Amino acid sequence: MMPVTRAAKGPGKRRSPGPPDVLELIAACVGIHAAPQQPGCEEIAWLKSRPRAASVRVRRHTCDCQPVVYELCQAGGLMFVRRYDRSNGVLIEESEWPGPMRSQLVRQMSWRLSLGWAR
């Protein structure tokens, strides 16, 4: 029998070099990408963002890799959508803050924004 000599580096050590793996990681978005604007798209009346609550919780948001990001926010019992537009500087706007009985309408608005049915 021939003596078996193990190679210094055993099998299974061949893998793709680092940089492509890192690029794949960066390219892998975990967030939702808002769909392009659809025909008959509803136009949201965006208002200047003003500090109105001590703490705002972001419930859901579209992917941060996009120039425009929509956040579904909650401050106490009130919900609203915040819009970050970084396509030309940084513009932060908000939808109106309807009363707590109308929170469902805000959730629906955030979905319409994701689907391109509202902008």
Q: Is residue 35 at the binding interface for Zn ion, with CB under 5 A as the rule?
A: no
Within positions 60 to 79, which residues make up the interface with Zn ion, using CB under 5 A? Answer: 63, 65
Neighbours of 75 (CB within 10 A): 14
Which one of residues 22, 23, 29, 47 is an interface residue with Zn ion (CB under 5 A)?
29
84: β partners: 69, 92
Q: Is residue 22 at the binding interface for Zn ion, with CB under 5 A as the rule?
A: no
d(CA 19, CA 25): 10
Q: Using the minimum distance from each CB to Zn ion, give the nearer residue, 58 or 65.
A: 65
Decide: 44 and 92 in contact? Cβ < 8 Å: no
Residues that bind Zn ion (CB under 5 A): 29, 63, 65
